Amino acid sequence: MEKRIAVLAGDGIGPEVTAEAVKVLDTVAAKFGHTFSYDPVLIGGCSIDRHGVPITEEALSVCKASDGVLLGAVGGPKWDTCPADIRPEKALLAVRKELGLFSNLRPTKLFPQLASASPLKEEIVAKGIDLLIVRELIGGIYFGRRQTVSTPEGKAAEDVMSYAEYEIERIGRVAFETARKRNRKLASVDKANVLDTSRLWREVMHRLSAEYPDVEYADYLVDNCAMQLIRNPQQFDVIVTENMFGDILSDEASMLTGSIGMMPSASLAAEGPGMYEPIHGSAPDITGKNIANPLGTILSAAMMLRYSFDMAEEADAVEAAVEAVLDAGYRTGDIMQDGCTPVSCSAMGSLVAERV
């Protein structure tokens, strides 16, 4: 099969980790008889430096015309003082909106080889952690009206959170369908004891739940869910929630596994290309040292093979290669353990590619 991939390497360690994912994709192409071509696209700070905006219309068109988008990370101290409308992060919101990426899948899986990196007690980790957060990505407070005004009492600011029924229903369906492909257990997270948006959320989820009687369904208030993730993460299989709650809970969940550098994500639309990126940022503190962990990006590329290209066997091969490299004791600095072999970012990418 032939596939065009838009590569948005971005800033900081973004170019370092995406280069390793491309290395692995090239091996997959050679091994399974596919042709992958890559269109490099500027995004974030590097686009601000070149074009004065965090992403250009032309760059968005390249993403739209692709079969899948691979993103590194954007941002860094150099652009922290840019005006709000041209901040690097604005580009991420633009791509999500332009491609209609309403559904963000974030798997949280503890690799047994890295169990000691988890901050949780050994007896909790020993039972294994494998859950998936389905986060609504283009609605809610991050996309609502916002303003700061001056009042006689001083400044006041507001951010409006709104959800329409159809927005809740479409993410709900993704979550129920995803649960069906896993352990048929879905937790829906809201704040229905306070928020109207959450009461509507719950109403729609309950209606959908009747259509999926084979999926065990439960409601959680977001504060309780945050606590339960630490107390007993094994109670969860799939979690579905709105944009801001999902942002916070998925970072919390990623920490259960010990390293942010290991975690992939997929952002999907009803149709058209999906976007795949590690959940970490541009890590300015380790940029240019060839020490970043590329596995989150490599596993994101595996999600692209699975969800956008329908290449399950190829995705399995990449995931198995990552496991094999960890089994062999190779570690980047962030996941280093006693008795293991330290490797650079590029060496880690090569080791995975060799084992695909």
Least distance in angstroms from the C-beta of 153 to ligand NAD: 32
User: Is 39 an active-site residue?
Assistant: no
Residues 249, 281: Cα–Cα separation, whole Å: 16
In whole angstroms, the minimum distance from the beta carbon of 197 to ligand NAD comes to: 24
Pick from 85, 131, 151, 135: nearest CA to 241:
135
80 has catalytic annotation: no
Alpha-carbon distances of 291 from 56, 117, 273, rounded to whole Å = 30, 18, 30
281 touches ligand NAD (CB under 6 A): yes
Q: How far is the CB of 95 from ligand NAD (least distance, A)?
A: 11
Does 96 engage in binding with ligand NAD (CB under 6 A)? no
Q: Considering beta carbons, is residue 23 or 205 the nearer one to ligand NAD?
A: 23
Asked if 338 interacts with ligand NAD (CB under 6 A), we say no
Residues pairing with 146 in the sheet: 159
Select from 280, 306, 331, 355 the one that contacts ligand NAD (CB under 6 A). 280
**Near ligand NAD by CB under 6 A: residue from 137, 179, 286, 299:** 286
Q: Which stretch binds ligand NAD (CB under 6 A): 46-54, 156-164, 206-214, 288-296?
A: 288-296
Beta-bridged to residue 278, according to DSSP, are 264
Q: Which of 47, 66, 293, 300 is in the footprint of ligand NAD by CB under 6 A? A: 293
DSSP designation for 340: P
The yes-or-no answer on residue 11 being catalytic is: no
**Residue 267 falls in which region: left (phi positive, over 0), alpha (psi -120 to 50) or beta:** beta
Query: Which of 24, 55, 73, 95 contacts ligand NAD by CB under 6 A?
Result: 73
Q: Is 223 a catalytic residue?
A: yes
Indicate which residue of 38, 191, 219, 330 is catalytic.
Answer: 191
| 54, 140, 261, 274: which one binds ligand NAD (CB under 6 A) | 261
If binding is defined by CB under 6 A, does position 76 make contact with ligand NAD?
Answer: yes
CB atoms within 10 A of CB 255: 16
Q: Could you tell me if 135 and 241 are in contact, meaning their C-beta atoms sit under 8 angstroms apart?
A: yes
Among 223, 310, 316, 327, the active-site one is: 223
Indicate the burial class of 225 (C-beta count within 10 angstroms; 0-12, 13-18, 19 or more).
Answer: buried
Q: Which residue is nearest to ligand NAD (CB)?
A: 281
> Tokens 């094999």 sit at which residue?
324
> Are 142 and 131 within 8 A, CB to CB?
no
Burial-class residue 158 by CB neighbours within 10 Å (0-12, 13-18, 19+): exposed
- 237 classed as catalytic: no
**Distances 53 to 41, 86, 254, 276 between C-alpha atoms, Å:** 13, 6, 31, 22
Q: Which of 198, 250, 282, 300 binds ligand NAD (CB under 6 A)?
A: 282
Which residues participate in catalysis according to the annotation? 142, 191, 223, 247, 251
Residues that bind ligand NAD in the complex, under the rule CB under 6 A: 13, 17, 73-76, 89, 92, 260-261, 277, 280-286, 292-293, 296, 334
